Amino acid sequence: MTNVTPSQLAGNISHLPAPDLNKAALSFFTARTLYMAFYLSIRSENGWAYARTGAYAWSVAVPIWGLWKAGEAMDRAGRKL
């Protein structure tokens, strides 16, 4: 689960609020746990495979969202990473 580390680091550097960083970390952890549970229990022949794909997409979107927000905050502050 190293995807969230650069996002959290960028969030800290750009001074994003701690509650937002905590929510992002919890969301990432939840998405990855859900994906793992789906991966271990769902066969690809049934319709639940789409739920597994959704959980994976969610887990990829959280760090991207964090990097986006950190970039916006740094742009507003006029700083560069």
**66 neighbors 25 (Cβ within 8 angstroms):** no
CA distances from 13 to 9, 17, 74, 78 (A): 6, 11, 9, 13
The amino acid occupying position 16 is L
Reference 27, options 50, 49, 59; nearest CA is 59
Report which of residues 47 and 24 the model is more confident about: 24
Two tokens at 42? Answer: 């769902």
pLDDT at 81: 57
Averaged pLDDT of the chain: 88
Domain segments of the chain as ranges = 4-77
Q: Which region, left, alpha or beta, applies to residue 53 given φ > 0 means left and ψ of -120 to 50 means alpha?
A: alpha
Say yes or no to pLDDT of 45 above 80.
no
